[in-house]
Structures are given as structure tokens and as C-alpha cells.
Chains A and B, each alone.
Chain A
Amino acid sequence: MNRKTFLFVGIVVALFIAAMAPFIASSNPDGLESAFFGIFGAKEIQGSTLDEEHAEVAEEHVTDITGNDFSFASPFPDYTIEGLAKFGETIAIILGTLLVLVIALGVAKMVQRTE
């Protein structure tokens, strides 16, 4: 497979994964969140139900502990686009994938030129 074909196939595979992601991804809390909710009593460590009310209290509690209340409004929070449901997530993740691709190519070319 030559370089151009490899790049093309690679991009197609990455975009395919991106497009599929919202449809197959689980909305369960991830490892770190699950540990957090377990430790703060919103969930059993080995249980599968999350107590939403407790979860909210826990999130306020942790900010009190660390004092870090920094917040930042990202343009597409949690890979969503306002007003668009699942389709928006697909677009958001595809956009992100392309953005990472372009930035990676750009940075790689840039550091090469500084040689």
C-alpha cells in the first residue's frame, strides 16, 4: 500500500469509527466517574445503579474539597451540537477527528521546517 492510499484508508477508517461512536458508546459512568460516585456514596463500587440525587451532591462536595471551581463553556460540550440529537454527536465526533488530523499534520510539518 503506497503512502497516499495508506493515508486515505486510514482517514476512512478513523471517520468510520467516529461516525459509529455515538450509536455504540455506553452512557454508563466511566472508570474514574464510577470510582468517584462509589467513593462518594452515589453508587456501590460493584453495583450498577447510580443514585442521581446523590451524584449531584457528590459533584458539589468535591468542588468544596478541592476549591477548583474553574469552568469553561466548550463549543460542543460532551460531543453534542445544540439542537441536534444523535446526528449532532456524529457530526461533532467527525469534526473532532478531522480537526485532530489537520492539527497533527500541521504540527508535524511545522516542527520539520524548524530543522
Chain B
Amino acid sequence: MIIIIRTGESMHIPDAFIPLPQAALYWVIALIFIALSLRWARKELTEDRIPLVAILAAGIFAIQAINIPIPWGTSGHMMGAALAAIVLGSPFAAVFILTLVLIVQGVMFGDGGLTVMGANILNMGVIGGFVGFYSYRAIYPILRNIYPAAFIAGWLSLFIAALVTAVEMAIAGTFPLELGLLSMGLYHAIIGIIEGGITAVAIYLIHTARPDIISEPAGVPS
């Protein structure tokens, strides 16, 4: 029993946390977004961008394995959805990449459940990607600087995804709503600093190496 749950990493929901009918519903929602992300890939993945997508996917997988300690005997890691969405200029890029990462994590390493993988794709890929992308688009014109905008977008993407997870846990009957929101919010407000920081640094590095492949200025049409 202990193995089933301990193998989960950060926001990865283990099977035992969601009843099967609800897990199936999250899978249906996730599959719709996966189909849309494949359509995005067909339209937007030019020969020039394929290496970037592959590197982002591999890098996000690797960095998700690093749990960084935060206070209260807890740890957390990067999610990477905001990074993928901002760099590739679409929230569907995050859905595409996070889905691949979550499939490999779940199937090969037991990290995140299989019946609940739809929920994990929904939270990290869809919510993370959309919140990251659109908050970046809203914040960038105000700050007129890529890096603080990316930091805030990264923080928000993780924080909101954590709150959505808490709501799902409440629907599942696993967490009481208020206490779930409070504890998930508390931990992920801190973990979000890691998310925002790495998002900004990674965008800087990619921008320095290949200024041409990031949609100018990094996700915002000029």
C-alpha cells in the first residue's frame, strides 16, 4: 500500500486518491485537450521547432525528478507547463509536452497513477499551460520585460493548478475543501517560487542560444 502513494511526486495524484468514475471523467476531458494538442503539433511544429520541443520534453522530465526541499518537512519540483507554453507560444504546447512526460513517468516509473493520469494531464498540462500562457500574455505588456513576466506566470501556473487539484480532492472525498485548499495553497505558494525562477532562467538560456525560435517577444505577438 505504501508504495502506491509514496511513488507520487509533487502534484502527481496517485490512483488511490480519486474514485474510478471521476478518474474516467478527467480522462475524457484530458483526451479532448490531447487531441487539440496534436492538431497544434501538426500545424505549428515546423522542422526547426521539433528539436526544441524534444529538448523541452526531456528537460522537463529530468527537472521534475528534482524535489527541492521547502519548509514544513515538504518538497516540491518544477512542473514546466508555463515554460513550454511561453517558449512555444501556445498552451497546447504544454499539453503536448506534459502528456508525453506524464505517460513515461506513470508507465515506466509509477510516478502518478494510471487511472488518474487524465486528472494529472488536466492539472499540469491543461491548467498549468493555459494559466501560464495567458497570465504571461497579460503581464508582459505591463512589465515590458520577459523575465519577471515569466516568473509570475510560472508561479501562477503552479499555484492555480495546485488549487484545482485541491478541489478535485474535495470532490473525490479525499480532502475536506477548506483544509485542502489551505495546505495545497500554502505549500505550492512556496514551490511556485521554484517554478517561476526556473521558468525565467530557462527562457533566458533558450533565448540566448536561439533567439530566433522563441516567438518574439517570447510568446507575445508584436
Contact = CB atoms under 8 A, between A and B. Distances in A.
B95 interface: no
Pick the most buried of A22, A31, A99: most chain B CB atoms within 10 A of its CB: A31
A66 B47 CA distance: 45
A100 B48 CA distance: 19
Contact of B73 (A48, A104, A114): A48
B115 A105 contact: no
B62 A93 contact: yes
A44 B115 CA distance: 29
Interface residues of B, number: 85
Contact of A79 (B52, B107, B111): B111
24 contacts: A10-B52, A15-B62, A21-B65, A28-B74, A29-B73, A30-B8, A32-B10, A34-B74, A39-B183, A47-B73, A50-B73, A59-B2, A63-B16, A66-B172, A72-B110, A77-B109, A96-B61, A96-B65, A98-B58, A100-B57, A100-B61, A100-B104, A104-B57, A104-B58
Given A30-B11, A59-B2, 9 more contacts: A9-B209, A14-B58, A31-B187, A31-B191, A34-B72, A59-B1, A68-B115, A70-B113, A79-B111
B54 interface: yes
Nearest to B103: A103
B210 to A, nearest CB: 5
Contacts of B107: 74
Contacts of B50: 105, 108-109, 112
A55 B210 contact: no
Interface in B109-157: 109-111, 113-116
Interface of A: 1, 3, 6-7, 9-11, 13-15, 17-18, 20-22, 24-36, 38-39, 43-50, 55-56, 59-60, 62-63, 65-79, 92-93, 95-101, 103-105, 107-109, 111-112, 114-115
Contacts of A77: 3, 7, 109-110
A11 B61 CA distance: 12
Interface of B: 1-13, 15-20, 23, 38, 41-42, 45, 47-48, 50-55, 57-59, 61-63, 65-69, 71-77, 97, 100-101, 103-111, 113-116, 162, 165-166, 172-176, 179-180, 182-184, 186-188, 191, 209-210
Contacts of B110: 72-74, 76-78
B53 A104 contact: yes
Interface of A is mostly: helix
B174 A65 contact: yes
Contacts of A74: 7, 106-110
Contacts of A70: 15, 20, 113-115
Contacts of B65: 17-18, 21-22, 25, 79, 93, 96
